[in-house]
Amino acid sequence: MSSSSDINPPSPRINKTLGSLHPINQTKDYILDFLNNLGFEIIEGPEIETEEFNFDMLNIKKSHPARQMHDTFYVNNRSHVLRTHTSPVQIRGMLERKPPLAFISGGKVYRKDDDATHLPMFHQIEGIYVNKDVSFANLKDLIFEIVYKLFGSDIKIRFRPSYFPFTEPSAEVDILSENGKWLEVLGCGIVNPIVLENCKIDSKKFSGLAFGLGLERIAMLKFGINDIRDFYKSNLDFLTQFK
């Protein structure tokens, strides 16, 4: 008779399901890798920013609606904010480097929104290129490359005049959807000379282009998702579609 120490019952089988990157991270990595291959350096910055870097250096005046409590999360008696865009990273980059320069940044940003197409926390990628004789033609060429990479070379694109305090002229870029509606995918423009001067860059010698896009919006368009909140419900049936 065998002793109890000889008994070795089989262990229950454990079903291991391999995970994958979140669709937002997949989209972010895809775009950053593409732009990095074009020559843009990837840089990062803090998510808690000073008003100076988040607003003042970007030519966003004290009276601008974005600086109001109903739009922005303030901390430390209004001296710091949860960054409302990744543009402060560009400011920090321009202060630390001399032209020519080209860099991109991607990460979380925060605004007081919450509905089917907006969240209080979302993700952006922004890029900037500063050199001599940078023109709107250079900007358009880059935007076409980005949009074609994301949606294919058959997509129809239009530029609409817009306003951003940190670029002049400014434009919003739309693509034509299959149902015939124009959908906004990013904003862009020529860096405002005031912003260059704030960063100790001679605006008479140098000019720049800048662009920014929301990753959730791009992911929703690419994957056919109607509600932005689906990205953050931790629903495994939803997330496993993106392996």
Domains belonging to the chain, first-starting first, are 27-238 (3.30.930.10)
Look-up of token digits 């409590």: 69
Q: Which of 24-38, 67-81, 163-177, 182-196 has the lowest mean pLDDT?
A: 67-81
Q: What is the C-alpha R_g of the chain?
A: 22
Q: Which of 8-12, 48-52, 142-146, 220-224 has the lowest mean pLDDT?
A: 8-12
pLDDT digits (tens, 9 = 90+) for 42-101: 999 999 999 999 999 999 988 887 777 778 999 977 789 999 999 999 999 999 999 999
pLDDT reported for residue 1: 52
Residue 3 pLDDT class (50, 70, 90 cuts): low
Q: How many CB atoms lie within 10 A of CB 139?
A: 23
**Total-model pTM:** 0.87
Residue 117 pLDDT class (50, 70, 90 cuts): low
**Cross-strand pairs, 50:** 80
Say which DSSP state 205 is in: T
Residue 8 pLDDT class (50, 70, 90 cuts): confident
**Cross-strand pairs, 158:** 174
Could you give the CA distance from residue 28 to residue 144 in angstroms, rounded to a whole number?
18
**Cross-strand pairs, 161:** 171
Q: Given a cut of 90, is residue 17 above it in pLDDT? A: no
Could you give the CA distance from residue 76 to residue 78 in angstroms, rounded to a whole number?
6
Residue 27 pLDDT class (50, 70, 90 cuts): very high
SS3 state at 48: strand
